[in-house]
Amino acid sequence: MWGNAFSCMSGMVYLHAAVDSVTRTVVETVEKSEREKKRDEVEDSIRARLKGFCLILSFGIPSLVFARYCCRNVNPYFIILHYFVMERYITRSCEQKVLETLQRYPAVTVYGPRQAGKTTMVRHVCPSFTYVNLEQHGPQTLARHDPDAFFLRYPEPVILDEIQNVPELIPTIQARSVARGKKGQYVLTGSRQIALVQSLVGRTGLVWLFPLSLDELASGGYVLDRNSQLLVGGLPAVVSETTSPYAYYQDYISLYLEKDVASEGVKDLDRFATFMQLLAGRTGGLLDYRELGDMTGVSSPTIKSWMAILARSHLIHMLTPYSGNREKVLTQTPKVYFCDTGLVCGLLGIMTPDLLGNDRLLGPLFETMIVSEAYKMAYLNRTERFLHFSRNKRGKEVDLILQDGQTIRPFEIKSGMALRADYCANMDYFASVTPDCDQQHTVIYAGDDVPSFSGMRFVNWKKSDALFTPRTAPYVFNPQEHMGC
């Protein structure tokens, strides 16, 4: 017995040595011109993941024996490669909000784009709940024709995945939640918003889950350079598996057209696909319904209805102009942003990060990524209506404006790495005509953090999530503190 234990311990020593060896080997492959900048972050990421793998293998004597066996009989590089491509759960920022909502309401409804990780997240947060996928024919049919029998087959507490497929079930959920009088009984997920969920007002809380944020990716050990991040995007399946992002997004687009768009009554799916491609080429730009209609070959009202489909599917954000200052000659046209840059690259046929180096879309794509990060944080804190931009008729534009309580915070977004004093010009002008504007102007860009330069703060894009955390916490009312007053 002691001999076997000693053999297992020797195996772990060998494995840890292999980890250090592979870490050094990978780090040494970094190009010399970028080694000084990237070495630390690459080494930390690889070492954390490989040593996490060691911890998994070292859980118990059987795992030690397995590790020793693998190291003797299989190339250690194969084991390490398997760990890299093995899907792992990444903690989502909205998990606590889901649990808090279940404590306050009978139901919680989780919205978000297809394949953003809704099902994985809610099953992780609510492991004891019954689970049913309403995209499957059997549960769909039972729910439509005999809701009472459906809930006998799938009793509460229950996760009802893709609820938009059986909207007829909503009235039954409402009646049962009233009759049962219990909180935390239903978790509804949907890739499209449906009007019937409005009948659950007062009985369900809403949570939005978008593709992985930069902060969530970093917490999961994923470190990408700018162009790779833009190409890969934030959908969990692309990030956690060895795959071609381009091929994945082609399948994603086809699935979206065939299931979601077709279910909205759109007959000409090819023309809708053309519309999506044209809109992707305008991400980060002012929305022009007439131009899109002329180029697609449909009317402006049709374009508006198609934009509404994308919005209900949570694939786009409409950034509205800020109008709370003394500037009178302002554009009233919103800007449109896709929720994920990987999807934009897929729609535009961008297959490799190298293609983004000199592409005219690098700036708009980078801006789309940062604005999407702002929206992820805003939806988490329910401040999505307080994100804006500003542009006057003379072209003076501030890329992003966050209304944080009584403070107005402007941001410039630049895809380059250069420190330029003229970046402050538009923000200075905006501050001069905007009461309560924050005097701390911030530029989000691709270079290193610089706390102060020409009166501005320069922040690296990987740390942008923290910039959008509201400084003003909402008031929490506790009735017990006011009883008897």
User: Looking at the structure, do residues 175 and 303 belong to the same domain, yes or no?
Assistant: no
User: Looking at the structure, do residues 103 and 126 belong to the same domain, yes or no?
Assistant: yes
User: Looking at the structure, do residues 353 and 271 belong to the same domain, yes or no?
Assistant: yes
Strand 285-286 to 335-338 pairing: antiparallel
d(CA 428, CA 335): 22
User: Looking at the structure, do residues 62 and 160 belong to the same domain, yes or no?
Assistant: no
Structural domain contains residue 22 = yes
d(CA 47, CA 44): 5
Q: What pLDDT score was predicted for residue 20?
A: 53
**399 three-state secondary structure:** strand
Domain boundary (208, 237, 268) is at 208
Element (H, E) at 204: strand 204-208
Structural domain contains residue 11 = yes
Tokens 């010009």 map to which residue?
Answer: 425
Domain boundary (208, 235, 262) is at 208
Q: Which domain holds residue 137?
A: 95-208
User: Looking at the structure, do residues 75 and 100 belong to the same domain, yes or no?
Assistant: no
d(CA 343, CA 369): 11
d(CA 261, CA 251): 14
Q: What pLDDT score was predicted for residue 197?
A: 65
Q: What pLDDT score was predicted for residue 53?
A: 45
Helix intervals (H) in 233-340: 236-240, 245-255, 262-263, 269-280, 289-296, 300-312
Structural domain contains residue 42 = yes
Name the residue among 89, 46, 85 with its Cα closest to residue 243. Answer: 85
Asked whether 353 and 225 are in contact (CB, 8 A), the reply is yes
What distances in angstroms separate CA 114 from CA 181, 234, 297, 312, 457, one per listed residue? 32, 12, 28, 11, 36
**413 three-state secondary structure:** strand
Single-letter amino acid code for the residue at 422 = D
Tens place of pLDDT per residue across the chain (485 aa): 445 444 544 454 444 455 455 445 544 543 444 444 444 444 544 444 444 444 344 433 333 333 333 333 334 433 343 344 344 789 999 999 999 999 999 999 999 999 999 999 999 999 999 999 999 999 999 999 999 999 999 999 999 999 989 988 999 999 999 999 999 999 999 888 766 566 787 889 999 999 999 999 999 999 899 999 999 999 999 988 888 999 999 999 999 999 999 989 999 999 999 999 999 999 999 999 999 999 999 999 999 999 999 999 999 999 999 987 666 656 789 999 999 999 999 999 999 998 887 678 899 999 999 999 999 999 999 889 999 999 888 888 999 999 988 899 999 999 999 999 999 999 999 998 888 898 889 999 999 999 999 889 999 999 999 999 887 777 777 777 777 65
Buried b / exposed e along 345-365 (16+ C-beta atoms within 10 A): bbbbebeebebbeebebbebb
Q: What pLDDT score was predicted for residue 25?
A: 52
User: Looking at the structure, do residues 292 and 438 belong to the same domain, yes or no?
Assistant: yes
Instruction: Assign residue 106 the CATH number of its domain.
Output: 3.40.50.300
Structural domain contains residue 372 = yes
User: Looking at the structure, do residues 197 and 253 belong to the same domain, yes or no?
Assistant: no
d(CA 174, CA 171): 5
Structural domain contains residue 473 = no
Q: Is 284 left (phi over 0), alpha (psi -120 to 50) or beta?
A: left
Structural domain contains residue 261 = yes
User: Looking at the structure, do residues 370 and 436 belong to the same domain, yes or no?
Assistant: yes
What distances in angstroms separate CA 107 from CA 93, 135, 210, 231, one per listed residue? 19, 20, 20, 36
Number of domains the chain is built from: 3
User: Looking at the structure, do residues 251 and 378 belong to the same domain, yes or no?
Assistant: yes
Q: Is the pTM of this model over 0.85?
A: no
Structural domain contains residue 110 = yes
Domain boundary (172, 192, 208) is at 208
User: Looking at the structure, do residues 117 and 262 belong to the same domain, yes or no?
Assistant: no
User: Looking at the structure, do residues 153 and 71 belong to the same domain, yes or no?
Assistant: no
d(CA 139, CA 163): 11
User: Looking at the structure, do residues 64 and 181 belong to the same domain, yes or no?
Assistant: no
| Cβ neighbour number for residue 381 with a 10 Å cutoff | 16
Structural domain contains residue 120 = yes
